[in-house]
Structure 1
Amino acid sequence: MNGWRFTLSRRWIGYLALVVVFAVACVFLSLWQLARRDEARADIARVEQNWDAPPRPVADVLPRLDSFDADDKWVSVTLSGRYLTDEELLVRGRPLDGNPGFEQLVPFQLDDGRIFVVDRGWLPTGNEQDLPDIDPAPPEGPVTVVARLKAGEPVIAGRSAPAGQVATINLPTIAELVGGELYTGAYGLLASEDPATAARPTAATKPVADEGPHLSYAFQWVAFGVMAFIGLGWAVRQEYRIRNADDPEERVRAEARRRKAAAKPKSDAEIEDELLDAHPGG
C-alpha cells in the first residue's frame, strides 16, 4: 500500500481516534482549569469587597437560619448575646503553617434566642496529648461579637470525631449536637469581641490574593492536545517515508534531506564524538 493510502487502514484510523479523544479530554480539562480560575478570581473579589467593609446586623444578612449567599462570604456581621461555653466543640485536623491543630467553635446565643456558630480561631495540638494544651475560654455574660461569614462544610464520609469534637464544620450536624434554633447556612470567623479576653486562639487572617496556576495549566492542556496531533503527523510522515523508500520522488527528497543535514554546522559534541570514533584507542 504505497502513497498515503496506508492512513486509511484500521490501525491509523484507530490512532487518529485516540488522538481526537485525547485532544477533546485536554480541551475539557483546559476549560475546567479556566472555570477554577474564575472561581478563584471571584473569591479574591469577595475578599477585597467584604473583608474590611463595616459590619452589619446578622439578621439583615441572614434573614433565615438556612440563608447564605455566596456573595456574602467574608461579610462582617454583629452579634449580641452570650457564648454557650458548655457547648464548645473542637474541629479536628486543622493545620496552620504546617503545624497540627484544631479550630475552636463556640455556639453563640443571640438576644432573640437563635444560635450562631462562632469560630474563635486556631489552637495547636498539645505536646503530650491529641488536644490543645491551652483552650482559652470565651468572655462570660453579655458579649458583642463581630464575625466574618463563611459557608458551612460538607460531611466527609468515613471521618469521625470523639465527644466534644467534630470532623468538619457541618452546621446541620452541629445543630443536632447543640439543639435549639441554630443557623445552618453560615458560621462566622471571629473578628472581635467586646469585652475581650486576655487570651484567645490564633485569629484567622485575610486571605492572600492569589488566583493560583490555573491559567498556565489551562494553556498546558491545550498545548498537550496540539502536541498529540503534531506527534501523529510526525508518525504518519515517518511511516510514509518507510513505505515509499523505493519511490523515485521520495528518493530525491531523502537525498535532499541528507545534503541539508550534512551542510548543517556540527556541534562541539558531534565533532568530539567523531574524533572518538576515529581514534577509539586514543
Structure 2
Amino acid sequence: MYRFLFSSKWLGYLLLAAIFAAGCVFLGRWQMDRRAETLAEINRVVSNYSSAPIPFSEARDQFRNMDPEREWTQVELKGRYDTEGERVVRNRTLNGQPGYEVVVPFRLDTGETVVIDRGWLPIGNKTPGRPDSVPAPPSGEVTAIVRLKPGEPQLQRGAPDGQLASIDLPTYAGELGYPLLTGAYGLLASETPPVPDMPAAFPMPDTDEGTHLSYSLQWFAFGILMFVGFGYAARQQARNAAIDAQDALDAEEAGLEPMHSTAAAPRRRTPARRRGGRPTAEEEEDAILDAQGF
C-alpha cells in the first residue's frame, strides 16, 4: 500500500522534511544555549549582587584579572577620589534614555588605583554633547562599596576631551599617566560620607530568563509537526490509491458479467421469396423495416 514512498517524488519530500526538521532542531538548540547563558548570568547576579562586601585584599586579584563568575561581587574600598582624572563615558543608556556614565579613579590606602563608576547622567540641555553638570564625589577619606564589573573593549571611535568612548581601562590609564588596575572596575553601590548630589544609580540587573525556553520548544515542535504532516500526506495518498483501485476493480467486474434480459428477443420475419430469387415488393418493405429495427 505504501510502496509509493520509495518513489523519487516521495523520497524528495522526505528529504525536504528532514532538512526542515534539522533546521528546527538547530534553532531550538541555539535558543537552549542562549537560555543557559542567561541562567548563568542570573545565577551570578543572585549569588553575588547582595552578598556581604569583601575587603580589597581579597579582591585584589579580581581587579587585575577578573573571573567572570565573580562579576557583581561587592567589595569594600578605602581611599580618596582623584577628581582630576574624572571622565564621562559617552552613549550610555538607562531605562531607554541616552546619557553618560561618570568614572573616577580611586586611590586606595594601599597605594593602588582602581576605577569607580559613580552612576548615570542625562544628556545636557546647555552644551551639546556634554552633561549640564557632573556631581562632585566626596572629598577626603572615603569608604566605597562597589560591585565588580569587567572592563570594556576599545571602540573604534574617539571622544572629546574629558570623555571616553567606553570603559576601556588600559586606554583610560594611558590618559591618566599613572598605573591603574585594569582587570575590572567597581560599579558604585554606596559611599561614606555621602554627598547630597549624586548621579543616578543603576538598578539591579533583570533576573527574568526571557522567552528562550518557549521559543526552543516551539522550534522542536515545528520539526516534529513536519514529519506528522508528511505522514498524514502519505496516509491520504495511500487512502486515495486504495479507493481508486477498488473503483477500477468494481468497474472491471461489472464489465465481465453477461447481460440478462427478461424479455424475449423478437423473432425476425423471414419472408418467402418468389420463384427466380427476385424479392417481391412485400419482401423489400420487410427488409427496410428490419434494417430500421422494427
TM bin, normalised by shorter chain, reads 0.7 to 0.9
Question: Normalising by the residue count of structure 1, what TM-score does the alignment of the two structures yield?
Answer: 0.76
Q: Which residue of 2 aligns with 1:260?
A: none
Within-5 A mapping of 1:252-263: none
Identity %: 48
**Which residue of 81, 97, 113 corresponds with 2:111?**
113
Q: Which residue of 1 aligns with 2:173?
A: 175
Change (3 A) 1:146 1:127: same
SS at match of 1:246: helix
User: What CA distance in whole angstroms lies between the structure 2 residues aligned with 1:76 and 1:22?
Assistant: 48
**Shift of the alpha carbon at 1:56?**
1.2
Q: Which residue of 1 aligns with 2:132?
A: 133
Within-5 A mapping of 1:81-160: 81-128=79-126, 129-156=128-155, 158-160=156-158
How many residue pairs match? The answer is 249
Q: Which residue of 1 aligns with 2:77?
A: 79
Change (3 A) 1:64 1:203: closer
Question: Normalising by the residue count of structure 2, what TM-score does the alignment of the two structures yield?
Answer: 0.73
**Which residue of 207, 213, 218 corresponds with 1:209?**
207
**Which segments of 5 or more consecutive residues in structure 1 lack a partner in the other structure?**
253-282
Q: Mark the structure with the bigger radius of gyration.
A: 2
**Shift of the alpha carbon at 1:189?**
0.9
**Which segments of 5 or more consecutive residues in structure 2 lack a partner in the other structure?**
251-294
**Shift of the alpha carbon at 1:199?**
0.6
Change (3 A) 1:160 1:22: farther
Change (3 A) 1:21 1:136: same
**Shift of the alpha carbon at 1:71?**
2.4
Which is further off, 145-154 or 62-71?
A: 62-71
RMSD, matched Cα: 2.8
Does structure 2 conserve the Cα–Cα contact (< 8 Å) formed by 1:115 and 1:181?
yes
Does structure 2 conserve the Cα–Cα contact (< 8 Å) formed by 1:145 and 1:194?
yes
**Shift of the alpha carbon at 1:77?**
0.7
User: What CA distance in whole angstroms lies between the structure 1 residues aligned with 2:90 and 2:16?
Assistant: 45
User: What CA distance in whole angstroms lies between the structure 1 residues aligned with 2:160 and 2:146?
Assistant: 27
- AA partner of residue 212 (structure 2): H
